[in-house]
């Protein structure tokens, strides 16, 4: 349902937030450089965007199927 898709998108965003938080912690501990942090954040954002697009595509397909009935 559309409501569950909203929760799925929110879950993906929460994972992104937690991952970015972990990167900030690693940077504070000097375990990674600022460049490494930036690169990882960009990779996380691309993965987030891709996953949310997949969720949106499935939702659009469900809506199309419902309209056909």
What pTM value is reported for the model? 0.84
Q: Residue 63 above 90 pLDDT?
A: no
Count the neighbouring beta carbons within 10 Å of the beta carbon of residue 57: 10
* 52: nearest Cα among 5, 2, 3: 5
Of 56, 20, 50, 12, residue with least CA distance to 38:
20
Asked whether the predicted pLDDT for residue 2 surpasses 90, the reply is no
């Amino acid at each position: 349902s559309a409501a569950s898709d909203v929760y799925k998108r929110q879950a993906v965003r929460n994972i992104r937030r937690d991952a970015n938080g972990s990167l900030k912690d690693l940077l504070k501990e000097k375990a990674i450089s600022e460049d490494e942090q930036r690169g990882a954040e960009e990779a996380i954002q691309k993965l987030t965007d891709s996953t949310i697009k997949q969720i949106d595509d499935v939702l659009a397909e469900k809506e199309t199927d419902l309209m056909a009935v």
